[in-house]
Amino acid sequence: MSAAKDEILARIRRAVGSRPPGRAAEYQAIPRRYRQAGSLDRAALLDLFEERLRAYGAGVYRALPADLPATIASAAGARGKSRLLVPAGVPAEWLPETLEFAPVESADYAALDASQGALTACSGAIAATGSILLTHGAAEGRRAVTLVPDYHLCVVRAEQIVETVPEAFRRVHAVDASLLTTIAGPSATADIELTRVQGVHGPRTLDVVIVE
């Protein structure tokens, strides 16, 4: 153990003094009277998610499973995209024949930077905050995939959407949240006169397809 660690821990123990036993019980007793879950029905939930995404300047589409490839094609087409990177875990039946797709796994930083954009799935979504959660599994790609390209097209299944932050975080934590990125709209800044500007270093354009 380092001398610095010894000293810091000793200083903490001196500072806080003696503590009654039962740290875990004390933690459990922390009042959590905030909302643990939402109350909206499914239709209202999807509407809220869409409204919040639009407030950030994201594009939003809705599709039935059978229409997903056509919706992806028209979303990408509307942004002038003809070729997207796609992680290996994205189901082949999502992909329209009218677009070209290249695997992200072999793309280095230069290839990501030069690409037109990336199409991925996600691990969850939050209606109240318009957030998308990525845990970077096989259908979402490593973190750089949804960061370096200037365009991100994300498919969200309706059953992945919950209303509140606690619901979403517990869901992903129950599976694996060792790598977790939450995305709320395209990259943005408010550093000049605290006025929001959309599009800085991350993707400047975000489109979301909600599959019902």
Residues that bind other proteins (CB under 8 A): 2, 4-5, 7-9, 11-16, 19, 23, 26-27, 30-35, 52, 55-56, 109-110, 113, 126, 128-131, 136, 142-144, 147-148, 165-166, 169-170, 173, 177-197, 199-203
- Amino acid identity of residue 154, one-letter, is C
- Minimal distance in Å, beta carbon 77 to other proteins? 25
Task: Give the Cα separation of 46 and 20 in Å (integer).
Answer: 48
Output 14 or 64, the one with its CB closest to other proteins: 14
Written as one string, the DSSP assignment of 60-129 is: EEEE-GGGHHHHHHHHHHHTT--EEEE-TTS-GGG--TTSEEEESTT--HHHHHHSS-EEE--SEEETTT
DSSP state letter for 143 = G
d(CA 188, CA 3): 43
Q: How far is the CB of 111 from other proteins (least distance, A)?
A: 11
Contacting residues for 12 by C-beta, under 8 A, at least 6 apart: none
Nearest approach, Cβ of residue 134 and other proteins (Å): 10
Q: Closest CB to other proteins among 70 and 200? A: 200
CB of 185 to other proteins, least distance (A): 6
Nearer to other proteins among residue 27 and residue 66 (C-beta): 27
Are 49 and 210 in contact by the 8 Å Cβ rule? The answer is yes
Output 27 or 80, the one with its CB closest to other proteins: 27
- C-alpha 102/C-alpha 124 separation (Å) is 24
Q: Of 37 and 70, which has the nearer Cβ to other proteins?
A: 37
- Closest approach of other proteins to the CB of residue 89, in Å: 14
